[in-house]
Chains A and B, each alone.
Chain A
Amino acid sequence: MLPSYLTLAAILFCIGLYGALAKRNAIIVLLSLELMLNAVNLNLIAFSKYGVVPSLTGQIFSVFTITVAAAEAAVAVAVLIALFRARGTVDVEHMNAMRR
């Protein structure tokens, strides 16, 4: 079963990568990032059951990852709201103040 889970996680990660690269709405980019993090979590938990040395460490790691992802989502939405207040847009194409 392990290759099936790994393939599923790879599919999810690649869909998330495409969304993060190609989408212009910053909220959707954030959602794609969450999708990629979730794919990693699926890998961790799959290895914690089907890995060479099954143990709970994978699940502990995935819980830590979920916590960090929640903190990241909160800060990112706050940054987006502040940015929208300052610039009036959430288009990632317009977030190039440091490039000019």
Chain B
Amino acid sequence: MFNVEVNGPFVAFFVFAAIMIGGAVLMISLEKVVHMVVSMAAVFLGLAGMYVLLDAEFAAFVQVLIYAGAVSILMVFGIMMTKHNAAKEPVRPLHETLAAVGALSLFGLLFYAIRQTDIPETGAAGAGGAPGAVTDNTLAIGELLYTGYIVPFELLSVLLTVAFIGAISLAKKEAE
């Protein structure tokens, strides 16, 4: 893991990783809610760059459209519709310490598992017949979506429709 040669994708990986971790840490530590959403948008854009590095161009564009566009704007609207008074809430040191210990121990566990796992070196650069590595990624995903995954795709459309109708009827003003 630590003795790879320094090349273009490696440098890009570290730049995107720095953007994402910096954005996430800022999201946790900033004071104002709108600043938190903007730093989250930086994380989403960094993830899109990471997807391009991983030969997933379609997922990268979907990430930019849905997350950096729609979800960020939705959160900004949610902030706008609710009130955020600047009054200092009482801090909860025990609660926050427990949460930090839990998150850190989970990370330790995951990191140990990742380092212990013996991952075979295959598949890089489209070896082993990755269909999307050399050909058109979006075309391959579209073909797969409309052949092998047609039933989940249709179910997901129904889910989206139900979710948006439900969101409208939930947020609509109650009739007096």
With A4-B13, A60-B149, A62-B59 in contact, do A25 and B84 touch (Cβ < 8 Å)?
yes
| Given known A80-B82, A81-B78, contact A54–B129 (CB-CB < 8 A) | yes
Which A69-100 residues have a C-beta within 8 angstroms of B?
69-75, 77-82, 84-85, 88, 90-91
Contact A67 B160 (CB under 8 A): yes
Known: A15-B25, A53-B128, A79-B170. A22 touches B99 (CB 8 A): yes
Residue of A nearest to B123 (CB): A54
Chain B interface, >50% SS class:
helix
Q: Which of A13-41 contact B (CB under 8 A)?
A: 13-19, 21-25, 27-28, 30-32, 34-35, 38, 41
Shortest beta-carbon distance from A70 to chain B in Å: 5
Interface of A is mostly: helix
| Interface members, chain B 68-103 (any A CB < 8 Å) | 70-71, 74-75, 77-79, 81-84, 89, 95-96, 98-100, 102-103
Interface size on B, residues (CB 8 A): 87
Q: Which residues of B contact A10 (CB under 8 A)?
A: 107, 110-111, 114
How many residue pairs link A and B with beta carbons under 8 A? The number is 232
Question: Does B82 lie within 8 Å of A45, measured CB to CB?
Answer: no
Given known contacts A18-B28, A18-B99, A63-B141, is B120 in contact with A52 (CB within 8 Å)?
yes
Q: Determine whether the beta carbon of B133 is less than 8 Å from that of A59.
A: no
Cβ B156 vs Cβ A68 within 8 A: yes
CB distance from B156 to the nearest CB of A (A): 5
Within 8 Å CB of B28, what residues of A? 15, 18-19, 23
Q: Is the CB of B47 within 8 A of A42?
A: yes
Contacts of A19 in B (CB 8 A): 27-28
* Chain B nearest Cβ from A63, distance in angstroms: 6
> In the complex, are the beta carbons of A34 and B40 less than 8 A apart?
yes
Kindly provide the distance from the CB of A89 to the nearest chain B CB, expressed in whole angstroms.
8
22 contacts between A and B (CB under 8 A): A6-B110, A7-B114, A11-B21, A12-B43, A15-B24, A16-B24, A21-B98, A21-B102, A22-B96, A45-B56, A50-B122, A53-B128, A55-B131, A56-B140, A62-B59, A63-B59, A66-B59, A66-B67, A68-B156, A70-B160, A77-B171, A81-B170
